[in-house]
Every structure is written in C-alpha cells, then in structure tokens.
Structure 1
Amino acid sequence: MTKTYCLELSGDYACFTRPEMKVERVSYDVMTPSAARACFETILWKPAIRWHVRRIEVLKPIRWINLRRNEVASVVSTRNVETAMKNGTGGLGLYIEDDRQQRAGLFLRDVAYRVHADLEFLRERDPSATAMKYQEMFERRASRGQCVNQPYLGCREFAARFRLVNAPEAELAAINETRDLGFMLHDLDFSASADPQPRFFRAQLESGVVEVPAWNSEEVRA
C-alpha cells in the first residue's frame, strides 16, 4: 500500500527554524522531515494518503547568511475572530506600519536536497479507490511541475523549485560531509490532544545523508 518517491528541492534561501530560539530565527543545518513532508503535500494531499519522509540527501555545501527583515509583531486574536463570526462583522485587520518590528535571522543559502518519501494509501478513508489512483495522480502532477501551493523551504517567502526524480541512483551524489546535527524536529503529534506536541530525533548527517526514523520508532521522542 506504499510506494517511495523522490523529489529534488532547491532554492536561494531556506530557514528551518529551531524551536528553542524564542526571538530570532535560526535555522537547522539541514531540512527537517516536517518541512520535507509539507513539500510533498503541496503537490498532492488527500484524506486517504499519508506521506512518510525516509531520507534527506544534502546536495550542496551548508552555507549561511545573516539577514534582518521587517515582520508583523502580532497576530489577530482568537477572541476578535470569534466575536466577528458571532456578530457578522468586526475589525480583523492588522496595520503593518503600526505593528512592524525588525528581526535578525540566521538562514541557509543556495540549498538543494533530494528527499525520499513513502506515499501510504489508507484504504479505510477511501474504500472505492486504489493506491494506484493516488500514485498516478502524484506522478502526473510532479512530472508536470504542478502543485496546489508553491512548495517552500521552511518559511513561505523562501519558495522552492522541485523536480520529480525517477532514478535517484543515476543522480549526482550527496555532499561528502559527516556531522552530528543534534536533536531535530521530526514532526508535530496531533493525536494526543487538540494542542499539537513536537517530537524530536537525534539527527546524523552521514556522507551527506540524513536517515529519518519511522514515526513510531524508539528514536523519536516527545
């Protein structure tokens, strides 16, 4: 019920934000599994399928850049939204000039990855369909460069270019670098409560490749 696909993702900038950095944005050294999964889902997502990232290959040297950006300091409050829904009207706008702040960030630049992920078909979600239906749907979209939303590399302003790789073994090898990446965000767990909980794993870059453990393995911790 599963089939493995490979996407090449590249871009000028990327930021896979470390959650322990409270104010300034600081990226992980390498793309996170959750960011990789989101790129696959921008091409195809349906209730009857799940994407499981298995491997991330780094194709270009890890390079950094410091940037300062203007950002909006706040978000629209949930209470204002609920009031507007109840009354049928309300002020939900944010005025950038009144709510602007400048924040520094340590981002990645000139990045490229080759990501391997399994497409799992959940038959109970669509009993009348087959796994091949969704596999062909993804292959058709990815090969044509079609997507529902533009894939991005951590932050939406860092758009990603993507290419379906049909023969990964014939492509250029990953970078020849090995290092301990520390604890990295695997994904968010939505099963325990309404408030999603992050789960982490100890990431190792071995000859330019990060092997991603299965979600239910002992290597993934809350």
Structure 2
Amino acid sequence: MSLPANTMTFLLTGRNALFTDPVTKIGGEKTTYHVPTYEALKGVCRSIYWKPTFIWHIDKVRILNPIRTECKGVKPIKYHKSGNDLAYYTYLNDVAYEVSAHFEWNLNRPDLKADRNLAKHSAIMQRALERGGRQDIFLGTRECQGYVEPCEFGSHSGFYDDIDRVDFGLMFHSFAYPDELGRDELHSRFSRITMQHGVIEFIQPTGDLDKDRANGLPSRFVREMTDGHFSLGESLQSADDLYRQLEIGA
C-alpha cells in the first residue's frame, strides 16, 4: 500500500523497555508504563531522522507481544554525594511494536522554509529507516537498546488482536517544546490511553495549548526554556546537501 511521502511505518523491537511513569521517579526508583508513550515514540522517530524543519507526529502504535514486566537491581549515581545508590527498576520485557508516524513542517521556523523539500526529506527518511536510524534507538531510556526496520502497519500478528478494549487511564503524553509552541516555555501534556484490538491511536497535538486541552490533552507548565538555534548553511545542512551525500555514498 502506498503511503504519503511524509509518512513512515516501522517495526520497533527490543529486549527491554522503560517508559517511565513519572509518579514512580520521586523515590529514586522507576516503574515503566505498560505501553509506550507518544513522546518515547517521537524520540525514536527523531533518532531515525529529524531536522528542526519539521515536527514528528505519532499516529498510532500496535502492541504485538504480551505485556510482561521484570524487576532489575541497578546502581544509579547519587545526586548529592559521590558513589552509587541501589535501586530497583521495573522494565518491560521482550517488546515489539508497529508504529505509524508522519512529519509536518514546523511553521514556527520560517527561517527554514527553504529546507521544506518533501521529496528529498522523504527519500532521506526512508534510507535512514532501512539502515536502522541515523542515531542509536532507545526504548524510553538509554540502557534499553531498540531496533527499527521498515514494515507495513498491520502485517504482523499481535497478542491483543482479539481483545476489543483495554484502558490504561491517564498517562503522560508528550512535551510541548518551545519550537512547537513558538514561545520560550516547556509544557507537559497528558491524555487517557485506550487500546482497541492491540492498537493505540494518539490524540495529535496542535501546538496551541488551549486547543489541545479542548481535544483531550491537558497540559502543565514545567519551566522556561529556550529553543536551540540552527541556521541553514552554518549549524544545519539542507535537505539538498544531505540528499547529495546519500547519492554519492549509494
């Protein structure tokens, strides 16, 4: 099936995953959500291919393997003195997901308008996906290595295909960064997550916090934050330059 040029679907797998429930971080120990968050999957897409010219949106994720957890003892670095603490983290075990995502131009960056070349960004994106991403893939946290490969969404059999509905309640959804909001603030967004026949369809953020709240994405101000500065030809290569490098290296 032919997909729009700005869309990619892929299989995401790993031995372990830790999509941290923020409620459990207070005591220094972490427990994973049972399913990946929008922000974690957005991070995977950014590791496959990203530029400040566009913003990734996660359309849906399909849970393929049974949800299983395991507890591991870890030694995180102490915050206020030297040495390590002993803590127990609860991870997901043996995970596999099908993900469908697309990118949209970042309209808050008119200075990068010259880099909005859909055909070339799409070609670079597909090449990066075929090669496992331009950066290392992590499943929620750095110690959980992930792997990606192209796939057709719905092509694999899933453990939850015959289960009509599972509710996971209110979960962390994503961060609203300054480049998405158009102002120097960081906000966290939340949503109620429901899985139907193994598929979770995410509410799409708009970049307007009031509209997001009306659509079921309540948010909370975190802190002031400035956007990173990227300039074409200086700290940022254009899609034309990246595409030319791919052609030379092919």
**TM-score normalised by L of structure 1:** 0.82
> 1:86 aligns to what?
none
Give the CA deviation at 1:195.
Answer: 5.2
What are the within-5 Å matches in structure 2 for residues 45-60 of structure 1?
45-60=50-65
- Code of the residue aligned with 1:168 in structure 2: it is F
- Code of the residue aligned with 1:180 in structure 2: it is D
Query: How many residues align structurally?
Result: 199
> 1:106 aligns to what?
90
Match of 2:194 among 187, 191, 204: 204
- When the two chains are superposed, the root-mean-square deviation of aligned CA atoms in Å is 2.1
> 2:13 aligns to what?
10
Q: Which runs of 5+ in 2 are unaligned?
A: 207-211, 220-250
> 2:145 aligns to what?
159
**Any idea what the Cα deviations from partners look like across 1:168-198, whole Å, max 9, x if unmatched?**
2433346234311111111112247655221
- Code of the residue aligned with 1:115 in structure 2: it is V
Instruction: Check whether the contact 1:70–1:101 (CA below 8 A) recurs between aligned residues.
Output: yes
> 1:184 aligns to what?
171
Percent identity at matched positions? 24
Match of 1:126 among 85, 102, 113: 113
Measure the CA separation in 2 of the matches of 1:106 and 1:146: 27
What are the within-5 Å matches in structure 2 for residues 24-103 of structure 1?
24-74=29-79, 98-103=82-87
Match of 1:172 among 131, 137, 157: 157
- Code of the residue aligned with 1:108 in structure 2: it is L
Give the number of the structure with larger relative contact order, counting CA–CA contacts within 8 Å between residues 6 or more apart: 1
> 1:116 aligns to what?
100
Distance 1:129 1:190, change over 3 A: closer
Is the deviation greater in 193-202 or in 205-214?
A: 193-202
> 1:213 aligns to what?
203
Q: Which runs of 5+ in 1 are unaligned?
A: 76-93
Instruction: Check whether the contact 1:119–1:135 (CA below 8 A) recurs between aligned residues.
Output: no
> 1:78 aligns to what?
none
Instruction: Check whether the contact 2:132–2:147 (CA below 8 A) recurs between aligned residues.
Output: no
